[in-house]
């Protein structure tokens, strides 16, 4: 599962979502705030505890997880191809 940490006040977060969200959904990916989504959108202002727990320091931050294990972290939005 990918976790995408965003913030409502973050222009780069809005740009990232605008670029990839519809593209992923067309491919059958679930992109939303639910814990079961392929890409879980996490609002930093609503879930500050999770931001601290995952040691997120920049927005947007993408974290690929498998269970409790972090496999990859990308800070900023490098574009669709990189993710």
What is the tens place of the pLDDT at every residue in 17-58? 988 888 888 999 999 999 999 999 999 999 999 999 999 999
| DSSP structural state of residue 32 | E
Q: Could you tell me the pTM of the whole model?
A: 0.89
* 8 A C-beta contact, residue 36 and residue 73: no
Classify 24 as helix, strand or coil. Answer: helix
Output the CA angle 27-31-35, nearest 5 degrees. 135
| Res. 83: pLDDT tops 70 | no
pLDDT digits (tens, 9 = 90+) for 3-23: 999 999 999 999 999 888 888
Give how far Cα 45 sits from Cα of 12, 25, 66, 69, Å: 16, 25, 24, 24
């Amino acid at each position: 599962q990918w976790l995408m940490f965003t913030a409502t006040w973050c222009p780069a977060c809005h740009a990232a979502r605008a670029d990839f969200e519809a593209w992923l959904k067309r491919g059958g990916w679930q992109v939303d705030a639910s814990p079961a989504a392929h890409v879980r959108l996490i609002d930093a202002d609503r879930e500050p505890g999770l931001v601290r727990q995952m040691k997120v320091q920049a927005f947007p931050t993408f974290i690929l997880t498998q269970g409790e294990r972090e496999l990859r972290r990308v800070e900023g939005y490098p574009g669709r191809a990189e993710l």
